[in-house]
Amino acid sequence: MTALLLKGGRVVDPAGAGDGAFDVLIADGAIARVGRDLPVDGAEVLEIARDWIVAPGFIDIHVHLREPGQEYKETVASGTASAVAGGFTAVACMPNTEPVNDHAGITQFILKKAAEARRARVYPIGAVSIGSQGERLAELGEQKTAGCVAFSDDGRPVATALLMRRALEYAGMLRVPVIDHCEDPSLKGDGVAHEGYHASALGLPGIPSVAESLMVERDISLAELTSAHVHIAHMSARQSLRAVRAGKDRGVRVTCEVAPHHFTLTDDALDGPVKYDTNLKMNPPLREAADRDAMIEGIGDGSVDAIATDHAPHHADEKMLEFDRAPFGIVGLETAVPLVFDRLVHTGRITLARMVELLSVNPARIIGVPGGSLAEGQPADLTILAPDLPVTVRAAALASKSRNTPFDAWQLRGGVAATVVGGRIVYQNPDAR
C-alpha cells in the first residue's frame, strides 16, 4: 500500500502530538509520522482544509448492531457504514442480539461480518450472564480470547448484587471492565418516560431517576470492594453523576458515558407539537433540565469520561405504535459529532482537545484497545472534522438501516469531513468538499 500524507489540517491530539498545524504520514495502516510540513516523497496526498481538524479516530463504545437476529433493523455492515459516516473508526457492540452474544461462536461471527464489511473496527461486548438472564455467568474467559473487550447484560441491569460482584471479580481478573445498564427493575416497573410533570400530564408511567442512581451506587460499592473497573452505561441522572464523582474521589475504578440526547434534550420535548412521538422514547429516558445541565457540567469538568451514542436502531413499523408499546431507543451514530460541536464546542462548554478525549482517548482506554492518539505506530484510524460545516440532519438519508431519530431536520454547525480506518479512507462527506 502506498503511503498516505494528510496535508494542511489542524491536528488535535491531546494524548500525542498536541494541537497544531501538523501533517500526518500514514504507512502500512499505521501512523508513521506527525510533524510540520512533511515531505511528500511519493506518498498519496490528501489535502486537508486549514480549519479542518485531524483527530485520532473516534470510538463509540455503546452501539447496537443488531446482528445476529435482527437484521431488519441493522446489520454489522449497515451499522459500520453508519459509524464511519458519523466519524467513528471503531464501535463496541452490545450483546443483546438474537441469540445474545454469550458465546465465543457469536463473537467470532460478529468479527467475521465486520471484516467482510471493511468499514469501522468492531469490538464485541460479551454478555455477563448466559442469555443475559442474570442466572449463570457466561464464559467470560473464552469470550475475551475470542475478542470481547468488555462484558455487559445491556438492555438489562446485571441482575443481582452477587452476580455483579462475581462478574467484577472475574472480569477484573481478565482485566476487562463490566459495563452496567444501571436500573432497578422494581423501581422502573412499567415506566416509559421520566417520572415528572410531563409523564404525569401525558398519562405515561414514570421511571424515577433513583431507579438509575440506586444501581449506580450499588455498582460503585461493588467496584470498590473488588478493586475492579465498572463502567456506567448511558448515564442520565444528576444523582448518578454525584455518585460517580464521590466514587472517583475515593479512588474507585469507575468510569461513565453520556449519550448526546442526554446532553441535548429534556422531557420538555414530550410537550412538543407531535405528542407521543416514539422517537423521544428511550431508556434511560429524557430527564429534566437540571439533569441535562448536570451532564453538560460533568462532560466539561472531567467527571464524565466518554460520549457514547447507545445507537439503537428500530424499524419504522416498530416505532409506529402506541408510546407504551413502542421499543425504547434511537439511532445516534450519525448525529453525535454535529451535536457535540453545536451544543458543547461552539457554546464554549468544552475545548476541541476535550472533545477528542471524550470521543477517542477515553473510549480507547476504557475498553483497552489501540487508538486514542496519533503517536507513531498507532493504527492509522483518524477522524477528520469540519467544525463550521452546516449540517441539516436528514433521517431519510442516514446510512443506518433505521430512521428513528428525534433530530430530523435539526440544523447544526460542525460535522465529519472524512473517516480513515487502517490508513484507508472509508468515508468522505460529499457536503464537506
Partner 1 sequence: MTARTMERTDHTGAPAASRLRSRHLLGIAGLEADEITLILDTAEAMKEIGTRPIKKVPTLRGRTVVNLFFEPSTRTRTSFEIAEKRLSADTLSIATATSSVTKGETLVDTVRNLEAMAPDMIVTRHPSSGAPHLLSRVCRSAIINAGDGTHEHPTQALLDAFTIRQHKGRLAGLKVAIVGDLLHSRVLRSNALLLTTMGAEVWGCGPATLMPAGIDRLGLHPTTSVDEAVEGADVVMLLRIQHERMHGHFFPSVREYFALFGMTSERLRRASGNVIIMHPGPMNRGVEIDSDVADGPYSVILEQVSNGVAVRMAVLYLLAGRDEMAEEGPP
Just list the catalytic residues.
310
Cell representation of residue 376:
507513531
Please, what is the minimum distance in Å from the beta carbon of residue 393 to partner 1?
21
Q: Which stretch binds partner 1 (CB under 8 A): 99-107, 241-249, 321-329, 405-413?
A: 321-329
Query: Could you give the angle at which helices 238-249 and 210-226 cross, rounded to 10 degrees?
Result: 20
Rounded distance between C-alpha atoms, residue 249 and residue 234, angstroms: 21
Based on the shown chain and the rule CB under 8 A, indicate whether residue 196 belongs to the binding site for partner 1.
yes
Instruction: Quote the radius of gyration of the chain (alpha carbons, Å).
Output: 21
At which residue does the C-alpha cell 471484516 appear? Answer: 115
Out of 118, 136, 175, 275, point to the residue binding partner 1 (CB under 8 A): 275
How far is Cα of residue 91 from the mean position of the Cα atoms in its chain? 7
Angle, vertex CA 20, rays to CA 257 and CA 432, nearest 5: 70
320 or 409: CB nearest partner 1: 320
C-alpha cell at 66: 443488531
* Torsion angle of C-alpha atoms 155, 157, 160, 162, degrees rounded to 10: 110
CB of 323 to partner 1, least distance (A): 5
Verify binding: residue 72, partner 1, rule CB under 8 A.
Answer: no
What is the grid cell recorded at 32? Answer: 508513521
Query: Could you say whether residue 79 binds partner 1 (CB under 8 A)?
Result: no
Nearer CB in complex with partner 1: 276/328:
276
Residue among 195 and 357 whose Cβ is closer to partner 1? 195
For 110, the grid coordinates are 460478529
- Interface residue with partner 1, options 204, 331, 369, 417 (CB under 8 A): 204
Find the shortest distance in angstroms from Cβ 398 to partner 1.
22
Q: Does 41 bind partner 1 (CB under 8 A)?
A: no
Distance from C-alpha of 428 to C-alpha of 384, rounded to nearest angstrom: 9
Residue 319, interface with partner 1 (CB under 8 A)? no
Contact set for partner 1, span 381-420 (CB under 8 A): none
Q: How many CA atoms lie within 13 A of 170 on its CB side?
A: 20
With CB under 8 A as the contact rule, which of the stretches 101-109, 165-173, 189-197, 252-260 interacts with partner 1? 189-197
45 near partner 1 (CB under 8 A): no
Residue of the chain from 225, 321, 375, 397 that contacts partner 1 (CB under 8 A): 321
3 forms part of the interface with partner 1 (CB under 8 A): no
Taking the complex as a whole, the smallest distance from the CB of residue 395 to partner 1 amounts, in Å, to 16
Report whether 279 contacts 404 (CB < 8 A): yes
Distance CA 418, CA 433 (A): 10
Per CB under 8 A, which region of 168-176, 223-231, 272-280, 296-304 contacts partner 1?
A: 272-280
Strands 411-421 and 424-428: antiparallel
Minimum distance of partner 1 from residue 213's CB (angstroms): 16
Closest to 291 in 3D by CA, of 238, 216, 212: 238
Longest dimension (CA), the chain: 67
Among 36, 41, 203, 249, binds partner 1 (CB under 8 A): 203
Q: Which of 427, 417, 287 is nearest to 341 (CA)?
A: 417
Determine, following the binding rule CB under 8 A, whether residue 274 of this chain makes contact with partner 1. yes
Q: CB under 8 A: which stretch of 77-85, 90-98, 269-277, 413-421 binds partner 1?
A: 269-277
Size of the site for partner 1 (CB under 8 A): 23
User: Does 206 interact with partner 1 (rule: CB under 8 A)?
Assistant: yes
Examine residue 320 and tell whether it contacts partner 1 (CB under 8 A). Answer: yes
**Cis upstream peptide for 68 (omega within 30°):** yes
198 contributes a contact to partner 1 by CB under 8 A: yes
Q: Is residue 292 a contact residue for partner 1 (CB under 8 A)?
A: no
Nearest distance from C-beta of residue 280 to partner 1, angstroms: 11
Asked if 323 interacts with partner 1 (CB under 8 A), we say yes
Distance between CA 176 and CA 161 in Å, rounded? 19
Between 195 and 219, name the residue whose CB sits nearer to partner 1.
Answer: 195
| Interatomic CA distance for residues 171 and 84, integer angstroms | 30
Q: Looking up cell 467470532, which residue turns up?
A: 108
To partner 1, the closest distance from the beta carbon of 271 in angstroms equals 10
10 touches 54 (CB < 8 A): yes
Q: Does 200 bind partner 1 (CB under 8 A)?
A: yes
- Pick 323 or 341: Cβ nearer partner 1: 323
Place of cell 468515508: 427
Interaction between residue 73 and partner 1 (CB under 8 A): no
Tell me which residues touch partner 1 (CB under 8 A).
189, 195-206, 274-276, 317, 320-325
